[in-house]
Amino acid sequence: MLTLEPLRPDHAEALLAFERANRAYFARSVPDRGDAYFAGFAERHAALLAEQAEGTCRFHVVRDAAGELVARVNLVDLADGGAELGYRVAEAAAGRGVATAAVAEACRLAATAYGLSFLTAVTTVDNPASQAVLGRNGFAFRYEFVLDDRPGLAYRPGLAYRRDLADLG
């Protein structure tokens, strides 16, 4: 069983360890965060918490049944009834349904707890696993773009990858 927890100050150490342990794995499918991200992690974590307190973003860590941090799921740029979904799953947890379940829970929370009516998401063309996760969660592909010099796909009905949340509210 997975649980999504809203990001808290006490998640900093585990989240930094998660990002460090999976940096090379993540860089194979999404742009690398760069050394500055890790050097200034404490300040970045505080900034994320401030954004969350303002209500412009919703950040989550995902824990497995043993309590290990195995993923993170974020809803950013909350505005006009929607937000952009982003997620990362640890290499050790990949292929076990963690992303699919975490995204499903994030969609449910977006509709029921955060009052959103739709989510958008993007992924790179060379990330079929992420495309499959989005598809299994009701997102539909809409257009291509470039993300840090890599071809990307956007998901949102009518515009990009998008998941309308009316059926979850």
Range of the domain at 141: 3-168
Buried b (16+ CB within 10 A) or exposed e, 81-95: ebbbbbbbbbeebee
62-89 mean pLDDT = 96
What pLDDT score does 145 carry? 58
pLDDT of residue 160: 45
Number of domains in the chain: 1
Mean pLDDT of the chain: 88
Three-state DSSP state, 157: coil
Contact yes or no for 99/71 (Cβ under 8 A): yes
Work out the number of other CB atoms within 10 angstroms of the CB of residue 134. 27
For 125, counting Cβ atoms within 10 Å of its Cβ (0-12 exposed, 13-18 middle, 19+ buried), the class is: middle
- What CATH number has the domain bearing residue 143? 3.40.630.30
**For residues 137-143, average pLDDT:** 77
pTM for this entry: 0.85
pLDDT per position as a tens digit, 96-135: 999 999 999 999 999 999 999 999 888 877 788 988 999 8
